[in-house]
Every structure is written in C-alpha cells, then in structure tokens.
Amino acid sequence: MTKRTGILLGAILGVLVLAGALWAFLGNPLAPDRAVFAAPVLAPAELAAPGDGVAAVDGADDTELSLNLATHQYASSPVLALTTPEQLDEVSAAVAGLRVPIVVLPAAPTADQVEAVRAEAERLGVTAVANQGVALPDDVAGEFATVRVTLLKAPADPGPRTYALVADAATQDLVGALLSPTSGQALVVEGDPRGSVEAVSAIAADPGAAVLIVGDLAADDDFQWQLETVLTGVELPGGGQLVAPGKLYVALYGHPGSSALGVLGEQGVDATIERARQHAAPYEALTDMTVVPSLEIIATIASAGAGPDGNYSAEADIATLRPLVDAAGENGLYVVLDLQPGRTDFLTQAKRYEELLALPHVGLALDPEWRLEPDQVHLRQIGSVGIDEVNSVVTWLADFTREHRLPQKVLILHSFRTDMITGIDRLDTSRSELAITMHVDGQGAQGAKQDTWNVLHRYAPNMPYWGWKNFYDEDSPTMLTPQQTMSNVNPTPIFVSYQ
C-alpha cells in the first residue's frame, strides 16, 4: 500500500466514524429530524407553584387531560415531549425525573389538537420538542428544534412531587406515565379518600407534595373535606383514616389503677400496653382484617353516691387519663373513652374530654346502663337513653371531627337490652365522620349471650357495625377463646373487648 493510498483510506474511515456518530445521534426515535447539540444546557422546566387547596383536573380525552396536567404542573419549560398513546410508556420512561411535560396526541392529530399544543408550547416558552410518533404539520414542526431527551440533564432540585388521585386503574396508568417527569404518582381512590391507606401514607410521608384530583372524584359533596383530612397526613392505628371496615379492634376494658373495674386497671401503663398487644395477637391469624390492639377506658364512673355535683358519676381528670392515652398513641393502640353519666347527659360529659377527643386515635363510647333518670340510682334500676340524646352526641362528635380534620372516630353504643336505647330506628347513621358501633355486653351462659346478640340485631338492623364483649369472670362456663369468638359470633364484630 502506498503512503497516498493509506492517507485516503484513513480519511474514508474517519468519514464513516463521523457518519456513524451522527446516525446514532439522529437515529434515536425521540429525535426525528434535527437535533439541538446544546440540549444539555437547556434550562430545566419551572414547576408551577401549588395553588390553595387541591386542584381538580379533567379531560375529555388523553390529549386534553395531558395538556391540563401540564398546565397544573409547569410554569415554563424549554422542552416539550410529544407521543402517541401506544408509545407513552416508552417516552415516560425516557423522561422520568427530567421534568419534561408530556402531551399525548394521535399519530395524525386534528387541527384543533395541534393548535392546543401550540398554545401550551407558547405558554411554557418551548424552544425544542422531543417527538415520538406524532406527525405534526411542517409549518408547526419547523417552529421548534428537535431534541434527544437522553442528552438532557436531570434538575439538581427535583422539586415537590405531585400526587394525583384517580378513580380506576386505567386512569392510574395514564396519569402515572404523565407524572413520571416530576417523579409524581397516581393513586387509586375508591370513594372516601380517607380509606386509601396508600394515599394517606404517601401524603403523610411527603407533606410538601402537590395534590390533584383527576376525573369526577370530587362530585361527592363530602369528598373535599374528606380530602382535606387526608392532607393532614395523620394516620390511625392500623393505617388509613377510617376506623372501619377492614379493621378489628381488640380492647382491654377498665379504669387505670382500679382492678375492680376490669383488666385494664390491673397493671401499670407499660404493662397495660403490652397486655393489650397480647390479647390482640391471636386474632391476627384468624382474620384478613387489620387487627388493632386497643383500650376502652372508663372516663366517667357510675357512683353509688351522688357526689359533690349530685350526678352519681365520678368524672376522671384528664391528667389522670392522659399518661395511658398518650402511651397508647405512641405504641399504635386505639383508645375509646367510656362514659357512665349517671343523672347528667352524655353530651355534657363528652364535652369534658374535648382535649383527648382531639387526638386522632381516641374515640367515644356511651354506656346507657349507667344513664339515670333524676329519681334513679345505680344498681336499683338499669339505665336507658333516648335516641335524641344519642343523636345529639352523634352531631356534636361528627362536627368536632370534621372541624378539626380528624380521622374517622368510633362511637360505641353499649347495650344488652332493647329498652336501653329507645327509638333506635331514628339513629343518625348519615355522618361518615363516625363509625357507629353497637357493643353487645351480655354476660353469663354463652347461649344467653348469643340470644342477646340476635335480639339486638333484630332490634337495630340499621346499625353499621357491631362489637362483642368477653368477660373473664361473668361468662360461663368460660369466656370464648379468640378462635371461638371469630367463629361463633356472626356477623363478625369489628370491636372485641375484654373485661
């Protein structure tokens, strides 16, 4: 080979290498025409500042929805990604974390769709487009440089994430792909958003995130305040912000420091927490529900004497109850405050404990056995309450829960006779702030307890949830084991207490 021939071959090889590099650069499906070699120095998109409250985003089709999402997420962007529905997943993966708005278009978009994209590009200040599979008119395509997203650098500050609440899995797939550039996430919410453990836990872990509602989820009148509760990020023991369904509460019953009133008072605070866990543990293998160890604390105790206020009820100070209530919350236990009001009314006593009821893990129980008329005394008569007084507590506690943006609270109604709560058919069960539960307190022979259970079910068919009590000393021949409780008590209760 002559020296001249070698020089010529070297030049040819150099041209081939350069051509290969250009082919590799321009052959990427996200750079169909001409590429901007300066793409890495393009400024990252600027995210839109989250507005007050939660924004609702809708769209008649994929294109409109993707444009509306871009409007809510981005204040400006030098780059816009265009893709067809069939290639959305590929593009979404390519721009993940790169903060590039994605617009979904048909392969041959209509003139109106093209104009909508041009308007959004003008709003964003777009100078370059990454296009995969969309045939834009030549005059529109010529307005923008083309860019390979693989040359873009992820922003140093990823900014706040966006969570979009959607109604179904198909919408979740579409919206999740569109949120990929901002590392956002679409969460399926079926009905009440407080019941979505995934949504509540995600928002709780990321309090600075923006939240969007996609579709018609917000059509429910209650959805807005329920979502505002979700945005607090507060979770109940067992997850989510709904007491029920899906959870089984296993509780010790009694008063701190008093063994005479139940097993809860037979030991100190730490030992009570551990004992509650031990009572709940066997149920975990017996049900698909989430088992929540719990405490039912007698806050006001039926008294043999009238007392200084003459109401035959000894009201415990909040300072007395607070150590156990706080320890329960710190250890993932739910707490119910039980009221035995004597000659006063349930609402008056409930309001005494607002400070504790303001805690998300604290609910309320009404014990009509100990609700006396002005001329009655305990143990001579069995107390009772009319439904109007019960409904006054329902209204107050539901309003209190909503006003303070608290997770749903349990409201237990204790009973072992049909005449203990009169007019039960008028019970207000409309307030989703509360999970109203009739707790059947029958004791003695198991056959008699089952009869009481069945009678009360016939008396109160409108009751949303039910509870069952196992007595260590009063049940005969013995109290039910956890296995027997779950198999013999039907329908399955959501609250099982031990006294």
CA distances from 222 to 192, 296, 404 (A): 8, 30, 15
Average pLDDT over residues 343-354: 96
Backbone φ and ψ of 101, nearest 5° = -60, 140
The residue type of 431 is R
Supply the pLDDT for residue 5.
45
Q: How far is CA 247 from the centre of its chain?
A: 14
**245 cis-preceded (ω within 30 degrees of 0):** yes
Measured distance CA(215)–CA(441) in Å, rounded: 46
SS3 state of residue 438: strand
Q: How many CB atoms lie within 10 A of CB 157?
A: 9
Give the pTM.
0.80
What torsion do the CA atoms of 135, 136, 142, 145 make, to the nearest 10 degrees? -70
Is the distance from CB of 124 to CB of 82 less than 8 angstroms? no
Q: How far apart are the first and last CA of the chain?
A: 103
Domains of the chain listed by start with CATH number: 40-230 (no CATH), 247-498 (3.20.20)
**477 cis-preceded (ω within 30 degrees of 0):** yes
- 9-23, 171-185, 350-364: least confidently modelled range: 9-23
Average pLDDT over residues 37-61: 70
CA-nearest of 253, 246, 247, 213 to 336 is 253
Question: Does residue 225 surpass a pLDDT of 70?
Answer: yes
Model confidence pLDDT, tens digit, residues 128-153: 999 999 999 998 888 998 888 777 77
Measured distance CA(302)–CA(382) in Å, rounded: 12
Question: Does residue 476 surpass a pLDDT of 80?
Answer: yes
Measured distance CA(182)–CA(160) in Å, rounded: 8
Model confidence pLDDT, tens digit, residues 387-431: 999 999 999 999 999 999 999 999 999 999 999 999 999 999 999
Confidence of residue 17 (pLDDT cuts 50, 70, 90): very low
For 36, counting Cβ atoms within 10 Å of its Cβ (0-12 exposed, 13-18 middle, 19+ buried), the class is buried
∠ Cα 24 29 33 (to 5°): 80
SS3 state of residue 158: coil
Question: Does residue 50 surpass a pLDDT of 80?
Answer: no
Question: Does residue 12 surpass a pLDDT of 50?
Answer: no
Model confidence pLDDT, tens digit, residues 191-211: 888 988 888 888 888 877 888
Supply the pLDDT for residue 324.
98
Model confidence pLDDT, tens digit, residues 265-315: 999 999 999 999 999 999 999 999 999 999 999 999 988 888 888 888 999
Confidence of residue 51 (pLDDT cuts 50, 70, 90): low
Measured distance CA(29)–CA(321) in Å, rounded: 67
Model confidence pLDDT, tens digit, residues 435-461: 999 999 988 999 999 999 999 999 999
Residues 6 or more apart whose Cβ sits within 8 Å of residue 64: 58, 116
> Quick one: which H or E segment has residue 167?
none
